Amino acid sequence: MNTDEYNYYKNTGFRNTRNRKRILILDVDDTDANDTHLGSGDEFNIELFEPLIIDKQSEVYLDNFISFGGNISNIPENSGFCLKINEFNINSNVASSSHSNNMFNSIIIPNEHNSVSNNHSVVLHKAKKFNYICDINPGKIGRLSGRITNLKGDPAFHGTITTNNFTYALTGIANTELEGTFPIVNNQAFTNISIDGSALSPAVTGNFLAHHENTADTLHFATNVALTASQFENNDGDIMFVGTDIKVDNDVGDNKNPNLSLLGGTGARFIAEFSIIARE
């Protein structure tokens, strides 16, 4: 047997001449048990399933980016995400009339989430594959840490208030049973929710996630604590968003809003898929 032929495909010093490309997936899941909620806009720190060994100078590309529970692109600041990864040598400069500090050395990802109807479904954000991110030196990576925000530096999930960790839709509202001063404006805050005159405990703070008219059959909002569907469904009495005059009549006895339903509350998530390609 030819010794040179036998050794041709052997991995010596973690070098692999057959496969120049590695796939790296970053999956950040915002759950009740997670110390870092995506709604806070704080830094995440995720351990890799097994260490990633880079054996030679390589280039990093973003292949895919999907999200669940992200903010809709209804204001300029939400038109894109800023993703910073500390382990990548992202060296992007910026000339911006605003928010330049936050976009500096960031990956800018277009926000394709343009409707609140997609609040509780997966959204694909990246319009094209194989976007160059940075070069990376040989080494060993055991964790990925960083931060994801909107262009301004506010949270990119659950609205822009850092205490909000849950996104909901109160749907099935008959248009004659929604009262108050309209329109409800995007980011309008409330200080609690009361049902039949009794405030929820613990206190619920939150804000509406979109513009709503009085003909809306669904209210989209984010909160600081988890809610349950049973709190809103099949209960007599008005549902009041305290701190505003927005009221939903939920009088079951008079057959008002019989189809009222609370959706959401499952947390947020994003997945970024990177290709790491060794240089020749």
Do the domain assignments include residue 143?
Answer: yes
| 146 or 126, greater pLDDT | 146
Q: Do 208 and 154 share a domain, yes or no? A: no
Q: Which of 103-112, 213-222, 230-239, 258-267 has the lowest mean pLDDT?
A: 230-239
**Into how many domains does the chain fold?**
2
| Residue 205: per-residue pLDDT | 96
Give the pLDDT score at 127. 55
- Sheet bearing 218-223, strands edge to edge: 189-190, 206-208, 218-223, 166-171, 261-264
Give tens-digit pLDDT for 41-89.
Answer: 899 999 999 999 999 999 999 999 999 999 999 889 999 999 999 999 9
Residue 260 has pLDDT above 60, yes or no: yes
**73 part of a folded domain:** yes
135 with 274, same domain: the answer is: yes
Count other Cβ atoms within 10 Å, centred on residue 118. 16
- Together in a domain, 151 and 226: no
CATH number at 57 reads 2.60.120.1100
pLDDT at 126 (0 to 100): 67
Note whether 113 and 243 are same-domain residues: no
Which stretches within the chain are classed as H helix?
3-7, 100-103
Same domain as 43, residue 76: yes
pTM of the model: 0.86
| Residues 151, 183 within the same domain | no
Residues 77 and 207 reside in one and the same domain: no
C-alpha 73/C-alpha 66 separation (Å) is: 15
| Per-residue confidence (pLDDT) for residue 14, from 0 to 100 | 46
Domain span holding position 180 = 166-264
